[in-house]
Amino acid sequence: MQFQQKFNLNRNPRSDPKEITHDSAFTFPKLSPLRCRILIRQRMTLDQIDRLLAEWRAKLEATAQNLVDLRSSPTYLQLASRSDLTGATLARVEPMLASMVSLFDCYDRLQACLAQAEDARKAVPRVFVSQEKIDEVVCHLTARPTLEMLHKLTKELADAKQVVLSIDSAWKQANSQLDAVERDGKGLESRIAAARQLILNDPLGAQAETDALSQLVARKLSLREEISKAAQTIKNIEAIRAQASRSYAEASRKIQSNALREPCPPQTLSALDQWLKALSARLDEGAWDAVAIGLEHWRQSAERCLQSEMDAVEANQKPVLLRRELRGRLDALKAKAVAKGKSEDAQLSQLGKQARDMLQGDRTSIDQAEQIVRDFEKRLTLLLCS
C-alpha cells in the first residue's frame, strides 16, 4: 500500500496531540546550537573509552615511576639533605625541592580522577549502552582542569629532573676538570683547594672558576711547550755557530779580508741557556705572566744571535767561493789562450802567473786577485781581436 504522509508546518502537534494521524501534520522540535553540536559530535565507543583509560593508567604509572626514581637518586637525596648549598645551585635547588610536594599532590589528584573514571566505566554495561554514562567517563579524563593538571605534572617533573641532572653533571665535570688542573697546577694549590670547596657547595656556580683554572693550566702547558722550543733554538744556534767557526777558520787561512766575521763568543750561548732555565723555574712557581714576557725578550735575543751566526757563515763562505770561482775562470781563460795560440804572449803569461800564485797561495787578497783575472781576460780579448 502506498501512502503519502503530509506535513503541515503551521501546526504544532504538541498543542494538539489528538490530531496526529496518518494524514495529520508533524513538525520537528527546534534544536539549539549546543544540542546540534552534541548531535553531530562523534561519540566515543566503549572500546575507545577502554583504550583512553589504559593510556591514562600507563601515563600515571610512568609518572609514578619517574617520581620514585627521582626521589631515590643519590644526587637528589644529597641535595635534599644539604643545608650548605649556595649561589646558583641553591637558587635552582630550593624551588625544585618545593615543587616536589606539589608534584605528588597533582599525582594523587590525577589518580583520584582516574579512579572515578574507572568506577564510572564499570557502571556502563556492554548492552543497552547509555551515552550519558559514556560522556560521564570521558568528562572525568578530558575536563580542562584535569588536562591542565596533567600538563603541569609532566612539565614540572621534567624541570625537576633537569635540575638534578644538571647539578649531577656539574659535580662530575667540575671535579674531573679540577683533577686535570691539579696534575699540572703547581703553584695553584690554594686556588684549587678553594675551588674544591666551591664545587661542593655550588657546583653550578663553580664552573667559571674551574674554567679559569683550566685556562691557566693550559697557558702553563703552552709556555712549557714554548720553553721546549726555545731549548731547540739553542741547539740550532749551536749548530750554526759551529758552521760559522769552521767557515771562519777556512776563510782566515785562504782569504785576506776585513769582512770576515767571527762567531759569537761561547758566553752568549751560555747566557741564553741560563736565562731559559731561570724562566723554566719561574714557570714552576706560577709566575706565568712574567715568564710570558721573559720568553718574548728571550726569543728576540735568540733570533738576533741566530741571525748573527747565519750572517757570519755567509760572510766567511762568500770570498772562499769567489776565490774558487776565480780559479776556475783563470783555468778556462788559459785553456782558451792555448787553443788560440796566444799563450806565449809575455804580458799574458805574466798576468796568468800572478793570478795563479795569488789564487793558490794563502791569505789571498780577493779584490786584487779578481782584478788580475779581469786584466788577463782583457789582454786575451785584445790579442784575439788583433
Share of the chain above pLDDT 90, in %: 53
Whole-number Cα distances in Å, 162 to 82, 93, 212: 19, 11, 26
For residues 380 and 344, the answer to whether their CB atoms sit within 8 Å is no
Strand partners, 364: 255
pLDDT-derived band at 321, boundaries 50, 70, 90: very high
Instruction: Give the pLDDT of residue 22.
Output: 35
Mean pLDDT of the chain, nearest integer: 84
Q: How far apart are CA 246 and CA 261, in angstroms?
A: 11
Look at residue 73 and tell me whether its pLDDT is greater than 50. yes
Task: Identify the pLDDT of residue 40.
Answer: 29
Confidence grade of residue 2 (pLDDT, cut at 50, 70, 90): very low
Place of cell 736565562: 275
pLDDT of residue 177: 86
Q: What's the rounded Cα separation, in Å, for the pair 178 and 180?
A: 5
Residue 386 corresponds to which cell in the numbers above? 788583433
Q: Where are the alpha helices (DSSP H) in 204-344?
A: 207-254, 266-285, 288-340
Taking alpha carbons only, the member of 222, 193, 224 closest to residue 210 is 193
Mean pLDDT along residues 294-315: 95
Is the pLDDT score of 20 beyond 60?
A: no
Sequential DSSP letters for 227-262: HHHHHHHHHHHHHHHHHHHHHHHHHHHHB--TT--P
State the Cα–Cα distance between residues 325 and 337, nearest whole angstrom: 19
- 77-116 in b/e form (b: 16+ CB < 10 A) is eebeeeeebeebbbebbeebeebbeebeebbeebeebbee
Q: What's phi and psi for 13, nearest 5 deg?
A: -65, -25
* pLDDT tops 90 at residue 236: yes
**DSSP code, position 15:** T
Other CB atoms within 10 Å distance of the CB of residue 14? 9
Band of the pLDDT at 146, cuts 50, 70, 90? Answer: confident
Neighbours of 145 (CB within 10 A): 9
Letter for the amino acid at 340? K
pLDDT in tens, 246-288: 999 999 999 988 889 999 999 999 999 999 999 999 988 878 8
Highest mean pLDDT out of 10-19, 35-44, 59-68: 59-68
Average pLDDT estimate for 219-234: 92
Tell me the chain's radius of gyration from C-alpha atoms. 52
DSSP-derived secondary structure letter, 187: T
pTM of the model: 0.57
> What is the predicted pLDDT for the residue at 92?
93
Position 382, amino acid: L
Closest CA to 71 of 39, 96, 105, 106: 96
Of all helices (H) and strands (E), which one includes residue 99?
helix 87-122
Instruction: Look up residue 264 and give its three cell numbers.
Output: 759569537
- Residue 174, class by beta-carbon neighbours within 10 Å (0-12 exposed, 13-18 middle, 19+ buried)? buried
Inform me whether the pLDDT recorded for 157 exceeds 80. yes
Sole residue written with cell 766567511:
316
SS3 content of the chain, % helix, strand, coil (to 5): 80, 0, 20
Read off the pLDDT of residues 79-133 as tens digits, 9 standing for 90 and up: 999 889 999 999 999 999 999 989 999 999 999 988 988 888 887 776 666 677 7
Query: Which distant-in-sequence residues (6+ apart) come within 8 Å of 312 by Cβ?
Result: 244, 247, 248, 261, 262, 263, 264
pLDDT band at 189 (very low <50, low <70, confident <90, very high): confident
